Amino acid sequence: MKGISRTVWILSLVSLFTDTASEMLYPVMPLYLKSIGFSILLIGVLEGFAEAIAGLSKGYFGKLSDTINRRMPFVQWGYFLSAISKPMMAAFVTPVWIFFVRTIDRFGKGLRTGARDAVLSDEATPATKGTVFGFHRSMDTIGAVLGPVAALIYLYRYPGDYKMLFILALVPGLLAVACSFLLKDKFRVVRTGAVNVRFFSFFKYWNQSAEIYRRLVVGLLIFTLVNSSDVFLLLKAKQAGLNDSQVLMVYIFYNLIYAAFAFPVGVVADKVGLKKIFLFGLVLFIMVYTGMAFASLPVHFYILFFLYGLYASATEGVSKAWISNISQAKDTATAIGSYAAFQSIVTMLASSLAGLTWYLFGPGASFLLSAAIAAVVVVYISSIPGKA
């Protein structure tokens, strides 16, 4: 396939297997947590805390990867930690243990993300960044289809047996780790000797980065504040009367749309501009969250999750491609990792805020607030110069 190298293919397969493991559990995670006594508010705090851990570690390990000029150790160990965390979730049901295991999983994501995205950036040219990142997101999201399908089939035969799913998720996780060892660092000068990279040293990159990077990241972070965990979308569907199987089906449908459109949308973004496609995605987000405030029938959720899949395909890979295009090659992992670190700090607030707003005022208020602030972000992002 034109523009897609062997390295990109392997990394994409690794992500496919990892997402298969993760997405076997993600749509049933809120159902499982509620079954062991977690409240809506505590679920929000858990998801926000886990994402904050992932983000802060993305910043540190992204900076460390750039400093020592190594990528693959971060990629391989990151996928390994995420793989072994899955069966650990079923071992105990105490809140402290659940927080600990989710932290290991998200720490693994933080360990690998900056280095992996830097490899993807190195495998592309400025004119093909959308294509490469879009292809990776598409393959990654195929895993997000396979995982829930496997979970749906299993729960159809063994309703409510969530714990075994966490154990079965180890299999695709280990396949991802095995594939990651097919990758090797390119020939580059590797820094040896003592390396002094402080955990929060990536914050210095903010002052060293280009102004357009800072302006873009500010806009993305404001949006992140109202873009809480997808868990709340699934909980809304559940609250509206969908059973476990229907919740899984609508989530599978969303990921099918995401997987189908991520690659072609990335190709289009390279042609018409990353900025235009990203803004299009934000408009779709506004439509989805406004609709979620009033949705009550299964058909409503299929329409909204269709639009949500288009939104994801127009923003997830495109935002990383945009950041990598406005950053120097030597700082790619730091630039993406630093953004992810700031993003996850805000995500912790976002999920907690969504949980609190839901708890105090109901889901409608939570979704409408997100849509309103996202509209402000559209205006702000539009003011950033250049078509990217």
Q: pLDDT tens digit string along 130-172?
A: 888 889 989 988 988 888 788 878 888 888 777 788 888 889 9
Residue 247 lies in a domain: yes
Residue closest to 19 by CA, chosen among 163, 126, 169: 169
Residue 202 lies in a domain: no
Residues 6+ apart with CB under 8 A from 247: 27, 31, 234, 237, 238
Give the CB-side neighbour count of residue 248, counting CA atoms within 13 A: 23
Per-residue pLDDT tens digits for 223-251? 988 887 787 888 888 888 888 778 878 88
Average pLDDT of the chain?
Answer: 83
For residue 16, the surrounding DSSP H or E stretch is helix 6-25
Do residues 63 and 333 lie in contact, with contact meaning Cβ atoms separated by under 8 Å?
Answer: yes
Provide the token pair at 284: 């779709």
pLDDT at 314: 92
Structural domain containing residue 52: 6-181+210-382
Residue 186 lies in a domain: no
Specify the number of domains making up the chain: 1
Average pLDDT of the residues in 120-132: 84
Residue 205 lies in a domain: no
Residue 69 lies in a domain: yes
One-letter amino acid for residue 154 of the chain: Y
Average pLDDT of the residues in 322-339: 81
Per-residue pLDDT tens digits for 355-387? 788 878 888 888 998 899 999 999 999 888 765
Is residue 311 predicted with pLDDT exceeding 90?
Answer: yes
Residue 63 lies in a domain: yes
Residue closest to 321 by CA, chosen among 268, 355, 371, 270: 270
CA dist 311 and 206 (Å) reads 28
Q: pTM of the full predicted structure?
A: 0.78
**The domain that contains 133 carries what CATH number?**
1.20.1250.20
CA dist 208 and 117 (Å) reads 20
Local confidence band at 202 (pLDDT 50, 70, 90 cut-offs): low
Is residue 61 predicted with pLDDT exceeding 60?
Answer: yes
Residue 230 lies in a domain: yes
179 or 60: whose pLDDT is higher?
179
Local confidence band at 201 (pLDDT 50, 70, 90 cut-offs): low
Residue 326 lies in a domain: yes
Local confidence band at 38 (pLDDT 50, 70, 90 cut-offs): confident
CA dist 246 and 265 (Å) reads 28
CA dist 324 and 327 (Å) reads 5
Per-residue pLDDT tens digits for 249-308? 888 888 889 988 988 998 898 888 889 999 999 999 999 999 998 988 888 899 999 999
